[in-house]
Chain A
Amino acid sequence: MDQSRRDFLKVASLVLGGLALWGCRRDKNFSPAPKASSDISLWKFEIKQAMRRNIPLGDLVPIKIPGPLPKFPKEINRFGMAIDLDICNGCGECILACVLENNISRVNDREAQKGRFMHWIEMREGVPVMCSHCGDAPCEKVCPTGAAVASPDGMSAMIYPRCIGSRYCGANCPSKTRKFNYTDARAEGLSAKFNPEVPLRNRGVMEKCSLCVQRLQNDRLLAKTLGKEWRGMGVQSACAMACPKKAIVFGNWLDSESPLSQAVRGRGIYTLKSIQGLDPSVVYLVGRA
């Protein structure tokens, strides 16, 4: 072999070896994962941090009371919520309840600095904003794999194992209430399974308010096992349960006896301007009709 070729091979193998070693720096054996903590005060602190941001709310526009979904005209259930802005004082208890119910993870410092929190409910100018579960959801239309689907019960469901993280749904959501898992919270010790009923999400999937689908599922399973017709009476989402002023009401838009239908009687029903024509299931109540 030529001398120069030999030298080249020496240098090349050294470089490759160096690159290989450098690539090992993220190996679990060399940099062990930080210990996970279930201390709720850490989450409370982060929620306070998130609430200090100034996120504009935009206009609220009046809409008609939600009715049956055009895609599922024969369904007897359509779940949703009404948030009474005359009562709500922006305390943030709903955010904490949602975090504990749905095992929402914290974020590390880099993410917090960039404002990339994972809370499904965001406080904008004192108003809690979460996914509105639109009847004509733009996110469901553009998801390539079908991870964002419409449930006949009125929920806009999110199926984590099917999500590939294209974030098209997030880009197309006019209210920007979807959250992307930028980090692997479990590996960084930032997530805790407060609620054994809800699975933890891995890095690279989108998540958002699920209308506490696990509570609805449990209630429906019980009713169906006992052979009863199910209208979801008595189910409350975590945020509705936790609100100290009872400003959030959860219920069934298609059931006249549901607390939701009763709460909106005679009230002005509003939604965010950006989702005006999309038939949201989560609405705001302001003043009288």
Chain B
Amino acid sequence: MKGTLLLCFLGCFGIALIAADLFFSTGDVIASKNKTIAFSHELHGANIGLDCTHCHTGARLGYKAHFPSKQDCLDCHRLPLTDSAGIPKLDSALQVAKAMPWQTESRVPAHVIFHHGVHAKANISCETCHGSIAEIDRGKRASVKMGECLACHRGETGFAPAATDCARCHR
């Protein structure tokens, strides 16, 4: 009896440890502070002739791809665009939104340099790391695990091998 009790206790303890590690591990979970406007990439994609860099302007040349500001949304949404019922809701939300409605914490640690521009120049499409629009809408984020970065840089994923010299990406 005592033995089984001890075993159960150890088992629960072990499960609790593993769960804590999975759920509270830093680095792979981002708190997105955007709670009021549910943005759908699918509505803003190729169907209206837009691609990633129209809103994420840094993706071609900069190190950060950036999120659009409220002003950028208003460039198009200044007028009611369709008769859909969501439009008045969107307009009122835009009225009270902050200047930068979307913010995320960067998943790149301080000692790592990741530059979007050089990767865009090497003809790596946004989907390669960020996934398709459908996946992004479901919450997928780009992985920043060094093992995966290096797999690409070593040429193991089909792209031409790039620098594997430590001083290229680390400071």
Contacts and interface: CB of A to CB of B under 8 A. Distances in A.
B58 to A, nearest CB: 11
A152 interface: yes
- Best-surrounded residue of A162, A210, A221, A224 (most CB of chain B within 10 A): A221
B105 to A, nearest CB: 16
A227 interface: yes
Interface in B84-130: 110-111, 113, 115, 117-118, 120-121
A149 interface: yes
Interface string A214-252: 100100011011110000000000000000000000000
B163 to A, nearest CB: 8
A165 to B, nearest CB: 16
Nearest to B110: A199
Given A199-B111, A217-B113, A227 B167 contact: no
Interface size range on A against B: 20 to 34
Contacts of B113: 217, 221
Contact of B171 (A149, A152, A162, A214): A214
B63 interface: yes
Given A225-B121, A227-B121, A149 B167 contact: yes
Given A221-B63, A225-B61, A227-B121, A159 B170 contact: yes
A155 interface: yes
Contacts of A221: 63, 113, 115, 117-118
Contacts of B110: 199-200
Contacts of A161: 111, 170
A197 B171 contact: yes
Given A160-B111, A199-B110, A221-B63, A153 B167 contact: yes
21 contacts: A149-B165, A149-B166, A149-B167, A151-B165, A151-B166, A151-B167, A152-B165, A157-B166, A157-B167, A157-B170, A159-B111, A159-B170, A162-B166, A198-B171, A199-B110, A217-B171, A221-B63, A221-B117, A222-B117, A224-B117, A225-B118
